[in-house]
Amino acid sequence: MPELSVTDMIIDGLVDQLILTMQTQPAQLKVGNIRAGRLQDNPNADGGLNILVHYDQKGGELSTADGSGRLSAPAYTIGGGVYLQTYFSLEFNFHFDKEQKRDVARRKAGTLLSRLKRAMLLMPMPINPTTQSNTDDFGETAWGIEIVSYSYRESGGVGHFIWTGEMVVRFLTQTSNQ
């Protein structure tokens, strides 16, 4: 079995949390396609409600104790190790085909966005099946998640309202010199 990195653990954990939270809803608000990767050329291929998780273009950066956000830590620790902030994007598109009323589609989109935020805030740290802990095979540990930003916008029209958007989350991780 190949070695497992904290990045892969987090992406898999995000997908699992979204499936658990977003696919157990009534049919009209059940998210159909949740997967790791990027939006396809035709995100409508599966129709309905789609969420895709991937490593964000911002990547990762050294953590600082400047107090920005609720997850902050000193960059370095006594005895070695470094704290990092690693960013991930959740791209989503919600298609409300056959919906005739904009306010009904808007309320559904708002409900889905609220569920998405709640899923992120309640997400447990991913577990490495090899070590049965939140530390990867290279000694990096995931400590916490926070939502950095999100946005969504409407397009389409009567009979085909679409809300598309993105949520960026970051994880505080710690490397080890051990």
Higher-pLDDT residue of 54, 38: 54
- Residue 33 counted as domain residue: yes
Helix 102-121 crosses helix 6-22 at what angle (to 10 degrees)? 130
State pLDDT tens for residues 112-122.
889 889 889 88
Domain total in the chain: 1
- pLDDT, average across residues 28-57: 65
- The CA distance from 108 to 178, in Å, is 49
pLDDT at 158: 85
pLDDT at 169: 92
Q: Which domain holds residue 155?
A: 6-174
- pLDDT, average across residues 143-169: 89
pLDDT at 66: 57
- Residue 93 counted as domain residue: yes
- pLDDT, average across residues 68-85: 64
Question: Which residue, chain included where needed, has tokens 């006594």?
Answer: 78
Q: Is the pLDDT of residue 170 over 80?
A: yes
- 56: domain CATH number is 3.30.70.1700
Task: Say what the pTM is.
Answer: 0.80
- The CA distance from 50 to 94, in Å, is 6
State pLDDT tens for residues 57-74.
777 777 665 555 556 565
- Residue 1 counted as domain residue: no
Is residue 90 a contact partner of residue 14, using CB atoms and an 8 Å limit? yes
The arrangement of strands across the sheet holding 160-174 comes to 33-36, 49-62, 83-97, 160-174, 141-157
Give the contacts of 47 (CB within 8 A, at least 6 positions apart). 32, 95, 97
- pLDDT, average across residues 100-110: 88
Q: Is the pLDDT of residue 125 over 60?
A: yes
Burial letters 48-77, b for 16+ CB under 10 A, else e? bbbbbbbbbeeeeeebeeeeeeebbbeeee
- The CA distance from 50 to 59, in Å, is 23
